[in-house]
Structure 1
Amino acid sequence: MTESRLQRWSRRKTEAGRKAEPAPPSAAGSGPSPEAEELARNEALPEHEVLEKYGLPDPDTIGLGTDIAGFMGNEIPDYLRRKALRALWKSNPVLAVLDGLNDYDEDFTDAGAAVKGAKTLYKVGQGLIDKTKKIDEQLENRIEAHAEDPEPIESEGITEESEPGIAVELLPDPGSLERVVGEAEPEPEPEPRYRPRMRFE
Structure 2
Amino acid sequence: MAESRLQRWARKKAEAAKRPEPSPPPVIETEPAPEEQELAINEALPEHELLEKYGLPDPENIELGTDITGFMRKEIPEFLRRKALRGLWKSNPVLAVLDGLNDYDEDYTLASTAGQTVKTLYKVGEGLVDKAKKAADVVDDQSEKQAVSSLAEPDSTTAEEPDSEDSPELEDMATPTELPEQQLAQEEATYSEEEPEPRFRPRMRFDY
TM exceeding 0.5:
no
